[in-house]
């Protein structure tokens, strides 16, 4: 929370300017607690955000560290790396077979557009500087947030082990149409969407709704899965949407069938559990079928 390029800062959650004094900050926190408390008609998700914001800026020491790391101080901490590419792993355990570059398409697009937005002839020393990212248009911040979400999912899926195969950034026909991840394992074949809306969102009739929701993410995922399924001659077991842990009220929410496909919305912390056991009612894949599906996808998958 608050490390996403899209999420509100701790100060925004508390509805104060970043430069207010400590006493004003404390009064704002108490007011926001009353406004968001579920017992008085407030939103439970916002109530949790207010508590988390206070943990980050509620003491002078915590506030100073937060300001340095998020670009609210005189200078951002040089060692802070919240929005940078992950460091190379040294883990030698058996990994899932992986193809493609998770988050690669969106990260490249972000780097191109952030330089265009900053202006021609301007040299950006750090395109991931927190203050720069926070000031960028929401469309650019969304690109970076989604790239980071895809990278986070990829790290989780890789730890499932060698019984799984995953394809990242799979092209799905249209110019920008893609599936973030396709995961094949004993529990089935799943299309996975990694999302970060910058905060909790609501569901209505099998789709996300809210100001921070662009388009119809679940419908678009299912359409892209159908395109890949036709091209490869395979059947998906289900679709999974992964959200940051703090943006879901329950770690696993199975929506049943949406447009003929079983769909689940899960937290990052619950993703490996769902991929190991599968979605309720989804068809398992076993024996020679796993090899057949893997071969078909290997022969047809193209990357975005």
Instruction: CATH number of the domain at 23, please.
Output: 1.10.287.110
Q: What pLDDT score does 248 carry?
A: 87
Q: 70, 79, 93: which is closest to 12 by C-alpha?
A: 70
- Tell me whether residue 200 is in a domain: yes
Domain that holds residue 50: 10-69
CB 212 within 8 A of CB 6: yes
Q: What pLDDT score does 77 carry?
A: 41
Q: What pLDDT score does 78 carry?
A: 42
Is 134 found in the same domain as 213? yes
The domain tally of the chain equals: 2
Q: pLDDT by residue for the chain (304 residues), tens digit each?
A: 456 888 888 898 899 999 999 999 999 999 999 999 988 888 887 888 899 899 989 999 999 888 887 777 654 444 444 555 555 555 566 889 999 999 999 999 999 999 889 876 556 788 988 888 888 999 999 999 999 999 999 999 999 998 999 999 999 987 789 999 999 999 999 999 999 998 888 899 999 998 889 999 999 999 999 999 999 999 999 999 999 998 888 999 999 999 999 999 999 999 999 999 999 999 888 778 999 999 999 999 999 8
- Tell me whether residue 80 is in a domain: no
- Tell me whether residue 173 is in a domain: yes
Angle at CA of residue 215, ends 234 and 302, nearest 5°: 35
- Tell me whether residue 83 is in a domain: no
Q: What pLDDT score does 2 carry?
A: 52
- Tell me whether residue 59 is in a domain: yes
Q: What pLDDT score does 262 carry?
A: 97
Q: Report the half-sphere exposure of 152 (CA within 13 A, side-chain side).
A: 23
pTM: predicted TM-score of the whole model, two decimal places: 0.82
């Amino acid at each position: 929370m608050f490390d996403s390029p899209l999420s509100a800062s701790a100060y925004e959650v508390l509805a104060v300017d970043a430069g207010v004094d400590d006493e004003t900050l404390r009064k704002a926190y108490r007011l926001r607690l009353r406004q968001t408390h579920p017992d008085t008609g407030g939103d439970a998700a916002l109530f949790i955000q207010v508590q988390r914001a206070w943990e980050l800026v509620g003491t002078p020491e915590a506030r100073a560290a937060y300001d340095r790391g998020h670009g609210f101080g005189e200078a951002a901490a040089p060692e802070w790396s919240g929005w940078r590419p992950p460091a190379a792993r040294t883990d030698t355990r058996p990994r899932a077979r992986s193809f493609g570059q998770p988050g690669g398409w969106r990260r490249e697009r972000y780097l191109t557009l952030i330089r265009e937005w900053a202006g021609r002839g301007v040299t950006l020393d750090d395109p991931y500087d927190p203050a720069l990212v926070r000031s960028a248009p929401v469309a650019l911040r969304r690109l970076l947030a989604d790239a980071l979400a895809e990278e986070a999912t990829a790290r989780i899926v890789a730890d499932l082990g060698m019984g799984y195969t995953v394809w990242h950034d799979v092209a799905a026909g249209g110019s920008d149409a893609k599936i973030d991840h396709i995961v094949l394992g004993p529990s089935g074949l799943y299309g996975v969407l990694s999302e970060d809306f910058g905060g909790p969102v609501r569901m209505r009739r099998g789709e996300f709704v809210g100001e921070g929701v662009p388009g119809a993410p679940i419908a678009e995922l299912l359409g892209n899965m159908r395109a890949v399924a036709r091209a490869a001659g395979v059947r998906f077991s289900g679709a999974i949407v992964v959200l940051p842990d703090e943006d879901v009220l329950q770690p696993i929410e199975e929506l049943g069938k949406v447009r003929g496909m079983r769909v689940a919305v899960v937290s990052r912390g619950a993703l490996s559990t769902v991929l190991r056991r599968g979605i309720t009612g989804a068809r398992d894949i076993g024996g020679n079928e796993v090899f057949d599906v893997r071969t078909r996808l290997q022969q047809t998958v193209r990357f975005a």
